[in-house]
Amino acid sequence: MLSDESLWERWLENPCYQLFCGEEFFQYRLPFDRTSLTRWRLRMGEERLMALLQESLAAAARLGDYRS
């Protein structure tokens, strides 16, 4: 798992990461404050985050192995 700081560093230097996140053009600055992710996770709470993760994994399983 990446720290928020590591995530932002990768996002700033990697156009593929930005494309995956929905950007159409390479961005040279962060789209929002670095602490936003931490505050969002705290607002969501562990139970909701686990439900989001489980649904994401279930959706990936329904779509099949995307790496093939």
Please list, in sequence order, all residues whose beta carbon lies within 8 angstroms of the beta carbon of residue 36, skipping any fewer than 6 positions away: none
Report pLDDT for 20: 85
Token couple for 68: 């093939």
pLDDT over threshold 60, residue 68: no
pLDDT, tens only, 47-66:
999 999 899 889 888 888 65
Q: What are the angstrom distances between the C-alpha of 6 and each of 48, 56, 62, 63, 65?
A: 23, 22, 30, 29, 27
pLDDT, tens only, 14-45:
999 899 888 999 999 888 887 888 898 899 99
